[in-house]
Amino acid sequence: MSTRRAKKATMDFMQIIRGRRSVRAFRAAPLTRAQLELVLEAAGWAPSPHGRQPWRFVVLTSPEAKGRLAAAMGQQWRQQLALDGQDEATINARFAQSHQRITSAPAVIVPCLYLEELDRYPDAERQAAETTMAIQSLGCAIQNMLLAAYAQGFDGGWMCAPLFCQATVRTALELDAALQPHALITLGYAARDPQRRPRKSVADLVAHWE
């Protein structure tokens, strides 16, 4: 690749990275299966421990499935907010906002950690490290998904709520016990431009350079 072409490719890639944003409100326009499959294919190319790809994805596009998941998660979230001392009005407002965010997205992908094919060790310390590697790689897969969505002209949002109610998500979607839901990725065309937070400079982020 020529220097000029390499520079243009780098610029295009950085434009995608800088352009990606976290969207919470979507238009009703649907996404095609081909668009979603490209997002999932991108996830599959993420780095993973021993190349085992310790992730599986649940794709929701029907209103019934999204509504069932949002209702089940919302019920547990209400209980958790009450334990945190939130008043009823605040709980209702936050529940409505979260419910709308899930059900109004044209597509929702639930990335799940899948540990069944990872290496097994006789000691707990190395097994814990193996699990951590798998979780790190799941984050890489999700990032690939978000970048692939933005590169196609639509947007995504990353919600971590399933981490706090994994059993509830599994039950609502009738998932295998080996699947550990870690996130909700809402996908669609942005209804409005989100407010973007400033990013730290490279100098602020580098702790040591030798």
Give the domain CATH number at 157.
3.40.109.10
Number of domains in the chain: 1
In a domain, 143, yes or no: yes
Q: How confident is residue 87, by pLDDT bands cut at 50, 70 and 90?
A: confident
Q: How confident is residue 153, by pLDDT bands cut at 50, 70 and 90?
A: very high
Q: What is the pLDDT of residue 86?
A: 83
Q: What is the pLDDT of residue 8?
A: 62
* pLDDT tens by residue, 91-141: 888 878 888 999 999 999 999 999 999 999 999 999 999 999 999 999 999
In a domain, 98, yes or no: no
- Mean per-residue pLDDT, 4-9: 62
What is the distance, to the nearest Å, from the Cα of residue 117 to the centroid of all Cα atoms in its chain? 22
β strands within the chain, DSSP E: 55-60, 107-114, 155-159, 179-181, 184-188
Pair of tokens at residue 13 = 């890639």
Share the mean pLDDT of the chain: 93
Q: What is the pLDDT of residue 2?
A: 62
Residue of 112, 136, 120 whose CA lies nearest to 48: 136
In a domain, 96, yes or no: no
In a domain, 145, yes or no: yes
In a domain, 84, yes or no: no
- Mean per-residue pLDDT, 173-190: 98
Q: What is the pLDDT of residue 76?
A: 82
Q: Would you say residue 82 has pLDDT above 90?
A: no
| Residue range(s) defining the domain that contains residue 140 | 25-60+104-190
Q: How confident is residue 46, by pLDDT bands cut at 50, 70 and 90?
A: very high
In a domain, 70, yes or no: no
Q: How confident is residue 31, by pLDDT bands cut at 50, 70 and 90?
A: very high
% of the chain at pLDDT higher than 90 = 80
In a domain, 129, yes or no: yes
% of the chain at pLDDT higher than 70 = 95
Q: Which of 85-99, 148-162, 174-188, 195-209 has the lowest mean pLDDT?
A: 85-99
- CA-derived radius of gyration, the chain: 19
Q: What is the pLDDT of residue 7?
A: 62
Q: How confident is residue 199, by pLDDT bands cut at 50, 70 and 90?
A: very high
Give whichever of 7-16, 72-81, 91-100, 173-182 has the largest mean pLDDT.
173-182
- Rounded distance between C-alpha atoms, residue 11 and residue 174, angstroms: 43
| SS3 call for 90 | helix
In a domain, 87, yes or no: no
